């Protein structure tokens, strides 16, 4: 019978990745079609885990975004250095190669860029 030998591997809140450039612990990264936070430091050529769980995070984003509570945040996944989105990759508008990533849960601090976000479930 189809599916009878299936077994759960994980909760689906993380994904195993292999990177082609170094990623520090806690960095937002785009790897193998997934956008999420890196669980531990990974060197180029190593495997690791990317956290894609829909959860609240305190992050620092470019102040030019001028985020207000409720804004959707998109990431242009072609605007990367290695696997890490450049500051110019973040936007509040959709289109092109932008992926809907998060929703602002607070207003962004004008000075530090800190904002609480809700990482949204992976799109696609």
5 belongs to a structural domain = no
124 belongs to a structural domain = no
The dihedral through the CA atoms of 24, 19, 124, 11 has a sign that is negative
1 belongs to a structural domain = no
CA-nearest of 109, 39, 30 to 67 is 109
pLDDT (tens digit per residue) in 46-85 = 999 999 999 999 999 999 999 999 999 999 999 999 999 9
97 belongs to a structural domain = yes
75 belongs to a structural domain = yes
4 belongs to a structural domain = no
Number of domains observed in the structure of the chain? 1
43 belongs to a structural domain = yes
Identify whether the C-beta of residue 75 lies closer than 8 Å to the C-beta of residue 99: yes
Instruction: Give the per-residue pLDDT at 13.
Output: 85
Mean pLDDT, residues 29-42: 93
Q: State the pTM of this model.
A: 0.88
94 belongs to a structural domain = yes
Q: In terms of residue numbers, what domain contains 34?
A: 14-119
Instruction: Write the DSSP string, the chain.
Output: -TTTT------SSEEEEE-SS-B-TT-EEEETTEEEEESS-B-TT-EEEEE----EEEEE--GGG---TT-EEEEETTSEETTEEPGGGEESS--TTEEEEEEESSPPPTTT-EEEEEEPPPP-
């Amino acid at each position: 019978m189809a599916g009878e030998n299936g077994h759960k591997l994980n909760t689906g809140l993380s994904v195993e990745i292999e990177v082609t450039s170094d990623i520090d612990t806690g960095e937002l990264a785009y790897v193998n079609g997934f956008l999420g936070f890196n669980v531990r430091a990974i060197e180029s050529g190593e495997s690791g885990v990317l956290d894609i769980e829909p959860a609240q995070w305190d992050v620092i984003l470019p102040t030019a975004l001028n985020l207000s509570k409720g804004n959707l945040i998109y990431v242009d996944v072609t605007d990367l250095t290695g696997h890490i989105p450049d500051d110019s990759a973040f936007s509040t508008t959709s289109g092109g190669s932008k992926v809907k990533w998060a929703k602002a849960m607070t207003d962004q601090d004008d000075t530090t860029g800190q904002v609480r976000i809700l990482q949204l479930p992976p799109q696609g």
